[in-house]
């Protein structure tokens, strides 16, 4: 039985919500069964931060995937992944200010302005905050073209998030740089001329494939 567009969108949305909540569910599971390492705070800091970056990069991957493969069906996931990315960023920041620094505002202020990773991460949070607040359909209609202009700041937020990760993990550069390369490719595919060239190549490939298809007898 084939599914119509509405049913496909519903399934994709449900899958998006479930997938985005998996890191949180794993955190709750590990906490309940006492599976965290002795350095509990650092572990949950890294895990919430990584979840935020993964979801942020995934939200930015939807449009390039459509450019490459014509997967418009994935468009509902952009907002879902973006909102959940902010949720993990908020958790990440809460762990930093509450568990790590015990809500000591002098120490928090000192950390933000003296530690590069904290300053970069806080800047990313400040950029993402208005994007999360205006992520509703109502805000999109109310703001019009200004909404699109505002939400382009997500590119800078993603760059800062990856830089924050690189600075935070210090010498363990492999994963952060993988994210940096992926993000670089995704942003490159959004550049107008490159995007149009990829779309033309995809369409030409599709036409060539149809022309080589055997005729029905």
pLDDT for 126 equals 95
> Is residue 210 one of the residues assigned to a domain?
no
Query: What is the DSSP-derived secondary structure letter of residue 73?
Result: G
pLDDT along the chain (217 residues), means of 10: 78 95 96 88 92 96 92 91 96 92 88 89 95 92 91 95 87 81 94 91 76 55
> Is residue 209 one of the residues assigned to a domain?
no
Total count of domains within the chain? 1
For the question of whether the overall pTM of this predicted structure is more than 0.85, the answer is yes
> Is residue 215 one of the residues assigned to a domain?
no
> Is residue 207 one of the residues assigned to a domain?
no
pLDDT for 114 equals 87
> Is residue 181 one of the residues assigned to a domain?
yes
Residue span of the structural domain in which 176 resides: 7-200
Long-range contacts made by residues 184-189, C-beta under 8 angstroms, separation at least 24?
Answer: 185/64, 186/57, 186/60, 186/61, 186/64, 187/60, 187/155, 189/64, 189/67, 189/68
pLDDT for 205 equals 82
> Is residue 213 one of the residues assigned to a domain?
no
> Is residue 27 one of the residues assigned to a domain?
yes
> Is residue 214 one of the residues assigned to a domain?
no
pLDDT for 217 equals 40
């Amino acid at each position: 039985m084939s599914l119509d567009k509405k049913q496909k969108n519903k399934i994709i949305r449900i899958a998006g919500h479930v997938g985005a909540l998996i890191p949180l569910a794993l955190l709750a599971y590990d906490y309940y069964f006492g599976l965290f390492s002795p350095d509990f705070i650092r572990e949950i800091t890294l895990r919430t931060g990584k979840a935020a970056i993964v979801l942020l990069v995934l939200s930015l991957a939807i449009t390039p995937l459509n450019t490459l493969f014509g997967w418009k069906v994935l468009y509902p996931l952009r907002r879902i992944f973006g909102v959940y990315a902010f949720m993990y960023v908020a958790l990440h920041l809460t762990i930093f200010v509450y568990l790590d620094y015990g809500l000591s505002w002098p120490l928090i202020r000192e950390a933000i302005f003296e530690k590069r990773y904290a300053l970069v991460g806080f800047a990313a949070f400040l950029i993402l905050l208005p994007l999360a607040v205006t992520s509703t359909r109502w805000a999109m209609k109310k703001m019009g073209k200004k909404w699109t202009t505002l939400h382009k700041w997500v590119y800078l937020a993603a760059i800062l998030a990856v830089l924050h990760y690189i600075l935070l993990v210090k010498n363990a550069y492999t994963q952060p740089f993988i994210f940096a390369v992926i993000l670089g490719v995704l942003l490159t595919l959004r550049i107008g001329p490159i995007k149009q060239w990829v779309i033309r190549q995809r369409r030409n490939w599709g036409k060539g494939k149809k022309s080589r298809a055997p005729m029905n007898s």
